[in-house]
Amino acid sequence: MAEHEEPREVAGSPKPGAPKPGSPKEPDEAAAEDSAEAEPRDGADGADGVADRDELPPVRWWTHRLPRRSAALIGVLVALLGFALAVQVNSNDSDQALAGARQEDLVRILDTLDSRKERLQQEIASLNSQRQQISSTEQGRAEALKEARQRADDLGILAGTLPAEGPGLAVEFSGGKDGVGASVLLDAVEELRGAGAEAMQVEGSSGGAVRIVASTAFVDGSGRSLLVDGNRLSAPLTLSVIGDASTMQAALNIPGGVVDTVRQAGGRVSVRQPSVVQVSVTRSAPAARYARPVS
């Protein structure tokens, strides 16, 4: 029997289990090759890649801060938005309340709003007028000075510290057997003041003239004379008055008035209307001892 011979290897023939040329690679081998190719090569290429990664710092959003102005502006806008929301809420509540109100209540609310509107318009007009007056400093000072002088003149005439002239009456009293009493002259002064007299003085045949003011006193003197603020005057007496002549003359001639009283006592009253009445006598204003102005 012939001995069994092992098969011989032929040169160039593939070994058992080896992949044939051109045959697809196994999955494990393909993955290993791809991994090897993906790894960076030693040398310049690897160094450059590391350097590039070091030069690019990580970007963080919180490192970019807003300027202070922008932050302040954003804060203001947020506050305005909150205020607008609050106003809107209040407005909605008010609208709901008005929607449920009665007709009488709505009419009353409307009238109140109209009145408030008129008051505010008047206040606006007044403030605008004051602003226009104050806008010019020189004009405002001139107007204030003019008003102060006018006020001082009016007070001076009423207090008797300044002379005055103007339209009016000249009333002459000639007494009867008893002369002109203090009560007669006082009644005449009161009636003339009630008729709008602004300045008065009385003059006698002797003793000169006396300015009549609010504190003037009339006292009967001896020998048919009359004491006016301590000055002795004798009849006939002439009362010079500045004011509306027709009104004052009508006040003197009323029934039962001064003219009737003097005539019933045997005296006589003569009323004239000069073109200009002069009240030239002045007096010094006494200082107040007890009264103080209220600021």
Look over the chain and give the mean of its residue pLDDT values, rounded to a whole number: 75
Amino acid 67 reads P
pLDDT category of residue 68 using cuts at 50, 70 and 90: low
The string of pLDDT tens digits covering residues 207-261 is 789 999 988 999 988 877 889 988 999 888 999 999 999 999 999 988 888 888 8
The vertex-127 CA angle with 126 and 133, nearest 5°, equals: 95
Q: Is residue 2 part of a domain?
A: no
* Residue 275 DSSP one-character state: S
What are the structure tokens assigned to 171, written together?
Answer: 């009333």
Question: Could you tell me the residue range of the domain that residue 181 belongs to?
Answer: 162-279
- Asked if 173 contacts 235 with a C-beta cutoff of 8 angstroms, the reply is yes
What are the structure tokens assigned to 99, written together?
Answer: 């929607």
Q: Is residue 208 part of a domain?
A: yes
DSSP for 207-273, written as a single string: S-EEEE-TT--EEE-STTEEEETTEEEESSEEEEEES-HHHHHHHHTSTTSHHHHHHHTT-EEEEE-
Give the model's pLDDT for residue 111. 80
Q: How far apart are CA 133 and CA 139, in angstroms?
A: 7
pLDDT at 159 over 60: yes
Q: Is residue 210 part of a domain?
A: yes
Burial 168-195 (b: 16+ CB within 10 A, else e): bbbbebebeeebbbeebbebbbebbbeb
3-state secondary structure (DSSP) of residue 63? helix
Number of structural domains the chain divides into: 1
Q: Is residue 258 part of a domain?
A: yes
Q: Is residue 204 part of a domain?
A: yes
Q: Is residue 205 part of a domain?
A: yes
- What CATH code is carried by the domain that includes residue 247? 3.30.70.1880
**pTM of the predicted model as reported, rounded to 2 decimal places:** 0.51
Q: Is residue 172 part of a domain?
A: yes
Q: How far apart are CA 285 and CA 282, in angstroms?
A: 9
Give the model's pLDDT for residue 170. 95
pLDDT at 18 over 70: no
